[in-house]
Amino acid sequence: MLTYFRYIGARLLTLLVTVYISITVVFLVPRLAPGDPLGAIFVNLASVGGRVGSQELVQEYSRRFGLDKSLWEQYVSFLRELARGNLGYSISTFPSEVIDLLRSALPWTIGLLTVTTILSWVLGSILGAVAGWQGRRSWWSRFFVPVALIFYTTPYYILAILLIFLFAAYWRIFPLSGAYALGVTPGWNLAFIGSVIRHATLPALSIILVSLGWWFLSMRSLITGLKGEDFIINAEAMGLRERRILWGYAFRNALLPQATGLAISMGHIVGGALVTEVIFAYPGIGWLIFNSIKGMDFPTIQGGVLLIIVAVAVANFIIDVTYPLIDPRIRHQQAG
């Protein structure tokens, strides 16, 4: 038990260091990028008759967002406010607070990512296990392996554009963008739920197909490698049913490396989901960050990117600390 707590402590320390480095990078990158964060605001003011050249207005906005301070002072202030849970105000949508913008966008990203990640991982693992167990000569492998290779090597955005062209522009089966139809009242009613599912189908499908290709190929390779192991040969010699050997022995032993692959690829999956949100104008964190980058909205960029990094880091931490519960050999190796 003490070894396990040491293992958790080491992973927790890695998590904290990763988050701190990420906070620093997220703070510096927008400020080192070229562009004027207040320029978009003054352009909008000019379009409605505002005084773009007002020195008092420039000074007030600079003071409000802390842009009149040195970089170091801004960094210290950012860390202090972050420790209090305050992400500040959005520059492009002032006086909206960043935390409110994230709160409204987060459910859409969580819903999209949760469904697509679980479905692609489960379906890819099951189909890959069957293909790996039946071998190369089966029609299952001959059909699914080339298809999985095509999906795996296709970037998220390319597949998303193809889906839009086929099912939104050409056949007009699904909507082109958005999260739900105009005129539909949000709430727990069939009209809203049906509209949400319909609008999320193409974004979800683009993520599932690409991810499923990798999980299929990965599990197929793992099962193929396990077929020659001694415990599989012994199970066959004992006369156990082929289905039991596959799911009770081979599949269970392949789950740990497959879970490791899920942890490693979590950032790639999240990144693909964010790009997909931009293509479909899906109102999640990716769409929010994209609009914030266009408006040089430092606080919103920081809040959105930091939320994603922390979420991915915590997800990897959770997967890491569950490994020893599945396979105790891991914590013994760490102790050694």
For the chain, the structural domain boundaries read: 1-92+297-336, 107-294
| Contacts with 132 (C-beta within 8 Å, 6 or more apart), sequence order | 141, 219, 220, 221, 222, 223, 224, 227
Provide, rounded to the nearest whole percent, the portion of the chain with pLDDT above 90: 9
> pLDDT tier at 43 (50, 70, 90 boundaries)?
low
* Residue recorded with tokens 């949508």: 93
> pLDDT tier at 98 (50, 70, 90 boundaries)?
confident
Helix (H, G, I), strand (E, B) or coil at 136: coil
Q: 21-25, 88-92, 175-179: which has the minimum mean pLDDT? A: 88-92
Q: How far apart are CA 286 and CA 207, in angstroms?
A: 14
| Residue 335 contacts residue 5 (beta carbons within 8 Å) | no
Q: What is the pLDDT of residue 37?
A: 62
Q: How far apart are CA 324 and CA 195, in angstroms?
A: 42
Q: What is the pLDDT of residue 335?
A: 44
Our measurement of the distance from residue 107's CA atom to the centroid of its chain's CA atoms, rounded to an integer in Å, reads: 13
Q: What is the pLDDT of residue 38?
A: 62
**Residue 85 burial by CB count (10 A; 0-12/13-18/19+): exposed, middle or buried?**
exposed
Q: How far apart are CA 7 and CA 320, in angstroms?
A: 9
Q: What is the pLDDT of residues 288-332, one digit of tens each?
A: 888 888 777 778 888 888 888 888 888 778 777 776 666 555 554
Report domain 107-294's class.
Answer: mainly alpha
Q: How large is the average pLDDT for residues 187-199?
A: 88
- Which residue, among 116, 30, 25, 45, has the nearest Cα to 289 in the 3D structure? 30
